[in-house]
Amino acid sequence: MRVRDLSISYGGEPVLEGASVEVAQGQFVSLVGPSGSGKSSLLRAVIGLQRPLAGTVDPGVKPAEIGMLFQDDALLPWKTARDNVALGLDFRGCSRKSALVQADYWLDRVGLYGFENRYPRHLSGGQRKRVALAQVLALMPKLLLMDEPFASLDAIVRARIIRDVASLVEEEGISVLLVTHDLEEAISLSDCVYLLSQGPRARITQQYKVPIPRPRDPVKARTHPAFAPLYEKLWSDLSHEVALDQQRAEAAE
Amino acid sequence: MILTDPRFAPLRQLTAFGILLLIWEAAGRYDLVNPLFVPSPSRIGSALWELFADGRIWPHLDATFTAALVGLALGILVGIALGVLAALIPPVAELLEPVMTLLNAIPRVVLAPLFVIWLGIELASKVALAFILVAVVIFFTVYGGIRQVDRRLVERIVTLGGGRWELVRHVYLPSVAAWVLGNLKVAVGFAFTGACVGEFVGASRGLGYLLSFAQSTYNSALMFALIFLIMVVVLLIFAAAGRLERFLLRWQ
């Protein structure tokens, strides 16, 4: 996936300006930055939910091969877990029987065997997130876009789901572009991290390679010798961006 | 325990109701209330019994039920259709919204005499009143609901590869069904109001017609009996609507 000089504006106000991001096949890339830096807008532009002001987006795969995992699980409340997972398969012309068989398989893979007939309301936040993940993975995406998908989960559930997601995307060779506020999450999961400056007119200021080998356990990756220095560098650069923005705001006043 | 345990609440309510009936009955028998205005429960029960014993209630129940249920069905169908059209096609909304707002603002039962003039005293004028009462409520339910549909669900369908038809089928229609079912009890109440008021204004059959007859003959026992009967009928339909709602909205 290749994004070149992407600019996005809301009501004439440029949020993101000249952003370029690249995700190679099978690579896990994260976008981090302060709130309002246009991270989610960039993802939305890649999947076609946001029209860019300028720049180009080349997903590198067919639109049907892109999956998106939102911050909110956004499951249809009137459909069971199985029917929610089968939904995308149904849209792709899969027979009902085959869609349900595949839905059961993916629910099992994300650890929800026995929960197929539950409605979203009767599932926990972590279980709903797993259903949303199964819904996307069932479509066998080659590129997975994730917009802070773990933000609403408590620490233990979050750690378990992150581990499962990392292992699933590694096994399936899926390219991932993750938007997150969490620097630890970004480093432990990614091969490369992009840092966005404070918006409006946010831009990509830095790109960091993560030298932690794969296959990788995201929890154990935090104890790798390369983790702490990279975390400190990212934290320092991010703090610098926020401080710069505060100075600009004070000068404007 | 019986006085405080929540499990005995229905028993306490029935006992209180029974005591109230006894006081009411005693007040009637000892001439503490004028039976012309407030007949005793036994006289009301007797009037109700007579209605069923000689079978003359059935054509009236049939007329009221037919008018209310046909008006309800038409009102729901047309209300949904207009609500969907207005929500999805802005020029339709420009035409419909002022008319519906006007109809919503006035007490719509004032249209009853007009419907009698236009459609006569038979079934059609009662169906029309029940229909107009229900259609306006359902229109606003659907129109407002579709405009406020959860954008996240729409985006979810789009990112899963769904198009306009999939959106309608998997997001809009289930949302509409949920909103309509949520307002079904209100609609049932309006449908029976329309049917009874229509019959009250001008009819040859129906519970509203019987009420009008009881009023003109100062038969308050019959009037109380009919009010009680209408309450029971509407409560039974409410219960059926509640069961349908619980079954169809079991995901909630």
Q: Residue with structure tokens 């309006």? A: B190
Asked if A139's CB is within 8 angstroms of B156's CB, the reply is no
pLDDT at B170: 92
Residue among A66, A67, A121 minimizing CB distance to B252: A121
Nearest to B174 by CA among A77, A26, A119: A77
Q: Mean pLDDT over residues B228-246, rounded? A: 88
Decide: A16 and A199 in contact? Cβ < 8 Å: yes
Distance from CA of A67 to the nearest CA of B (A): 7
Q: Mean pLDDT over residues B75-87, rounded? A: 93
The residue type found at A106 is W
How far apart (Å, rounded) are the C-alpha atoms in residues A45 and B84? 30
Asked if B251's CB is within 8 angstroms of A47's CB, the reply is no
Distance from CA of B53 to the nearest CA of A (A): 47
**B65 in helix, strand or coil?**
helix
Task: Give the CA-trace dihedral at B161, B164, B168, B169, to 10 degrees.
Answer: -50
pLDDT at A192: 94
Among chain B residues, the shortest Cα distance to A71 is held by B152
Characterise A38 by phi-psi region: left (phi > 0), alpha (psi -120 to 50), beta (else): left
Q: Which of residues 145-164 of A touch B (CB under 8 A)?
A: none
| B-chain residues near A91 (CB < 8 A) | 160-162, 166
Residue among B153, B162, B251 minimizing CB distance to A121: B251
Decide: A43 and A59 in contact? Cβ < 8 Å: no
Q: With 80 as the cut, is the pLDDT of residue A138 above it?
A: yes
pLDDT digits (tens, 9 = 90+) for B185-218: 889 999 999 999 999 988 889 999 999 999 999 9
Q: Mean pLDDT over residues A189-216, rounded? A: 88
How far apart (Å, rounded) are the C-alpha atoms in residues A117 and A82? 6
pLDDT at A53: 87
Is some CB atom of chain B closer than 8 A to the CB atom of A235? no
User: Domain ranges in chain B?
Assistant: 1-33, 51-248
pLDDT at A153: 76
Question: Greatest CA separation found in chain B?
Answer: 77
pLDDT at A117: 94
Among chain B residues, the shortest Cα distance to A47 is held by B159
pLDDT at B6: 82
Q: Which residues contact A74 (CB under 8 A, 6 or more apart)?
A: A132, B150, B152, B153, B155, B156
Among chain B residues, the shortest Cα distance to A135 is held by B160
Decide: B97 and B83 in contact? Cβ < 8 Å: no
pLDDT digits (tens, 9 = 90+) for B21-52: 999 999 888 888 888 888 989 999 999 999 89
Output the average pLDDT for chain A.
Answer: 88
Among chain A residues, the shortest Cα distance to B151 is held by A74
Partners of A10 in beta bridges: A13
**B91 in helix, strand or coil?**
helix
In residues, how long is chain B? 252
- How many Cβ atoms are within 10 Å of A193's Cβ, its own excluded? 23
Q: Mean pLDDT over residues A161-184, rounded? A: 88
Going by pLDDT thresholds of 50, 70 and 90, the confidence category of residue A24 is: very high
Domains of chain A in start order, with CATH, are 1-57+176-253 (3.40.50.300)
Among chain A residues, the shortest Cα distance to B160 is held by A88
Q: Mean pLDDT over residues B176-192, rounded? A: 88
How far apart (Å, rounded) are the C-alpha atoms in residues A38 and A7? 9
Q: With 70 as the cut, is the pLDDT of residue B1 above it?
A: no
Report the share of chain B in percent with pLDDT over 70: 100
**B116 in helix, strand or coil?**
helix
Q: CA triplet B209, B215, B219: central angle to 5 degrees?
A: 110
Q: Residue with structure tokens 């994730």? A: A146
Is some CB atom of chain B closer than 8 A to the CB atom of A61? no
Q: Mean pLDDT over residues B55-66, rounded? A: 92
Decide: B155 and B113 in contact? Cβ < 8 Å: no
| B-chain residues near A79 (CB < 8 A) | 170, 251
Instruction: Return the CATH number of the domain spanning residue range B51-248.
Output: 1.10.3720.10
Q: Residue with structure tokens 């233990």? A: A156
Q: Mean pLDDT over residues A20-25, rounded? A: 91
